[in-house]
């Protein structure tokens, strides 16, 4: 998952900042009392009103809540914010981030921790239910999913009971008046905060926020036209505060950082993609190594790491199967590819290619020996962006007939769609493991293995 075009491309933003603000009616919408049934993909709860689906923020399945409709512009569904919990679920807890609590007015609730009011065990169950539902509806498979927490040994300083202290990258936004903070949920409104509970301790210590909830922007550039402040805590070296200005342009040689996974070190641009959870890179390294079927693995085959970023998962394969393993890592971002080449220098059979994956696969298919060999016997690690690999890439890849595909997915619906396409080509889902790499949010990571059924 070292792909520079992933959902946390460059420095990761709080989850709530990735969604367009909903279309709100000119006048306040109706206030309703609703019974909540389940969780939908995207982290909102599902209720019904007079036959219409209502997506409700900040609720828990099984609750009765009083809500205000915020978007009634659709025939089939409405969106609403919870105003009051009338009958609370036993799984409801005090929100881990006070500024996101249901006690606040919805417009003043910070985004990025939409599951923070739900007990950790129940959060993981809900994520498993969403993944199960997506696979059933779109992938044509009934598969129970157990979402596992990150091994505490891989994530020092992270509180597994509260799901806090795990984010190593945070973006704060800066308003025209110098206000510093994350965005409110589902909007671009900046909310001043007094804490960043999901962030690792090193970032909280340097964050320009005030103990009284007022921003402490002096000396950060917040008062000089900055548009954002990025906080980065690599696994080696000191945490950094980086002021972003509207006129900033990408530099030819941006600053780099070094991340460590076990005994391996990975160099990347400070603003480049890296897993945001302190223990995620190690978790996925282990998961990918375990997902590969050794009986199908050929170290001399044309093994591939697609959407490979700076080489994290290619290194996982090399570490498991030895330094002579042949593997090509492919990434569209040229800087990430440059770093991947250096990070994989230990493997004589490794190479890094800068290219779009679809174009790269087209060239493989057009090679002189494609008809006789293609990727037959090869293992492919596939780690696409949030939108998934998509039909075009899966069609091309399956046509090259690799022995197995290990797919790292960060979106249940995108994974389910690609599962259906793989199955059309005779590749069945053999194993599926899911990990809670984003506690207190709705996001979940999955590692799947596909193989051709002969």
Residue 302 confidence class, pLDDT cut points 50, 70, 90: very high
203, two tokens: 């970032």
95, two tokens: 């929100």
Give the Cα separation of 273 and 91 in Å (integer): 34
254, two tokens: 């941006």
Task: Give every CB contact of residue 372 below 8 A, 6+ residues apart in sequence.
Answer: none
Positions annotated as catalytic residues are 410
More confidently predicted of 437 and 221: 437
Give the Cα separation of 11 and 436 in Å (integer): 20
Q: Which residue has the tokens 């800066």?
A: 174
Q: What is the mean pLDDT of the chain?
A: 89
Residue 17 confidence class, pLDDT cut points 50, 70, 90: very low
pLDDT value for 367:
75
Residue-range domain boundaries for the chain: 17-115, 128-153+259-452
Is 383 one of the annotated binding-site residues? yes
Is 146 one of the annotated binding-site residues? no
Each residue's pLDDT tens digit, 327-381:
999 999 999 999 999 999 988 899 999 999 999 999 998 875 544 567 999 999 9
Give the Cα separation of 38 and 157 in Å (integer): 32
C-beta neighbour count of 365 within 10 angstroms: 15
| Rounded mean pLDDT, 68-96 | 93
Residue 82 confidence class, pLDDT cut points 50, 70, 90: very high
The reply to whether 17-115 and 128-153+259-452 are identical in fold is no
Hey, CA dihedral for 304, 310, 314, 318, is it positive or negative?
positive
- Residue 391: C-alpha distances to residues 222, 233, 358, 394, 399 (Å): 44, 36, 10, 5, 12
Nearest CA-CA partner of 86 in 60, 65, 59: 65
pLDDT value for 19:
36
- Residue 217: C-alpha distances to residues 141, 168, 177, 198 (Å): 51, 21, 10, 21
Question: For the domain with range 128-153+259-452, which CATH number is right: 3.40.50.150, 1.20.1730.10, 3.40.50.2300, 3.40.640.10?
Answer: 3.40.50.150
**Which class would CATH give 17-115?**
mainly beta
pLDDT value for 427:
97
Q: Is 43 helix (H, G, I), strand (E, B) or coil?
A: coil
| Rounded mean pLDDT, 175-195 | 92
Is 360 one of the annotated binding-site residues? no
83, two tokens: 């105003």
Beta strand 169-174 with 180-181 is antiparallel
Q: Which residue has the tokens 């679920």?
A: 89
What pTM did the predictor assign?
0.90
21, two tokens: 């603000």
Residue 21 confidence class, pLDDT cut points 50, 70, 90: very low
Task: Give every CB contact of residue 234 below 8 A, 6+ residues apart in sequence.
Answer: 168, 257, 258, 259, 274
For helices 120-134 and 412-424, angle between their N-to-C axes, nearest 10 degrees: 30
Is 275 one of the annotated binding-site residues? yes
Nearest CA-CA partner of 6 in 378, 451, 438: 438
pLDDT value for 369:
56
| Rounded mean pLDDT, 95-116 | 96
- Residue 413: C-alpha distances to residues 230, 276, 390, 409, 445 (Å): 30, 21, 11, 10, 12
Task: Give every CB contact of residue 218 below 8 A, 6+ residues apart in sequence.
Answer: none
Give the Cα separation of 414 and 357 in Å (integer): 17
C-beta neighbour count of 177 within 10 angstroms: 10
pLDDT value for 157:
87
Give the Cα separation of 82 and 209 in Å (integer): 27
């Amino acid at each position: 998952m070292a792909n520079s075009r992933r959902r946390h491309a460059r420095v990761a933003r709080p989850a709530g900042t990735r969604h367009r603000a909903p279309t709100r009616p000119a006048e306040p919408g109706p206030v309703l009392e609703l019974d909540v049934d389940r969780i939908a993909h995207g982290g909102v709860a599902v209720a019904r009103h007079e036959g219409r689906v209502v997506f409700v923020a900040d609720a828990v399945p099984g609750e009765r809540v009083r809500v205000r409709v915020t978007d009634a512009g659709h025939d089939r569904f409405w969106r609403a914010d919870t105003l009051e919990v009338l009958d609370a679920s036993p799984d409801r807890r005090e929100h881990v981030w006070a500024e996101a609590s249901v006690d606040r007015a919805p417009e003043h609730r910070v985004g990025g921790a939409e599951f923070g009011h739900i007990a950790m065990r129940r959060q993981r169950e809900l994520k498993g239910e969403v993944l199960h539902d997506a696979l059933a509806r779109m992938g044509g498979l009934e598969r129970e999913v157990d979402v596992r927490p990150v091994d505490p040994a891989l994530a020092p300083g992270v509180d597994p009971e509260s799901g806090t202290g795990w984010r190593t990258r945070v973006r704060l936004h800066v308003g025209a008046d110098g206000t510093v903070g994350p965005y409110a949920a589902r909007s671009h409104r900046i909310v001043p905060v007094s804490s960043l509970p999901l962030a690792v301790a090193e970032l909280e210590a340097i964050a320009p926020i005030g103990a009284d909830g007022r921003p402490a922007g002096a000396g950060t550039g917040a008062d000089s036209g900055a548009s954002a402040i990025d906080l980065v805590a690599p696994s080696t070296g000191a945490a950094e505060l980086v002021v972003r200005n509207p006129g900033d342009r990408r530099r030819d040689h941006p600053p780099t950082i070094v991340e460590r996974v076990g005994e391996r070190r990975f160099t990347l641009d400070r603003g480049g993609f890296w897993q945001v959870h302190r223990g995620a890179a190690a978790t996925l390294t282990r998961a990918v190594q375990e997902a590969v079927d050794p009986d199908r693995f050929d170290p001399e085959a044309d093994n591939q790491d697609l959407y490979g970023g700076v080489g994290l998962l290619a290194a996982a394969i090399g570490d498991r199967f030895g330094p002579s393993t042949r593997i090509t890592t492919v990434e569209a971002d040229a800087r990430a590819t440059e770093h991947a080449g250096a990070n994989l220098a230990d493997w004589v059979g490794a190479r890094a290619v800068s290219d779009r994956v679809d174009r790269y696969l087209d060239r493989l298919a057009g090679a002189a020996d494609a008809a006789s060999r293609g990727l037959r016997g090869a293992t492919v690690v596939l780690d696409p962006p949030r939108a998934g690999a998509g039909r075009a890439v899966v069609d091309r890849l399956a046509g090259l007939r690799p022995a197995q595909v290990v797919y790292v997915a960060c979106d249940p619906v995108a994974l389910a769609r690609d599962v259906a396409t793989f199955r059309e080509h005779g590749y069945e889902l053999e194993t599926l493991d899911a990990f809670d790499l984003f506690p207190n949010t709705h996001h979940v990571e999955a590692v799947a293995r596909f193989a051709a059924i002969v």
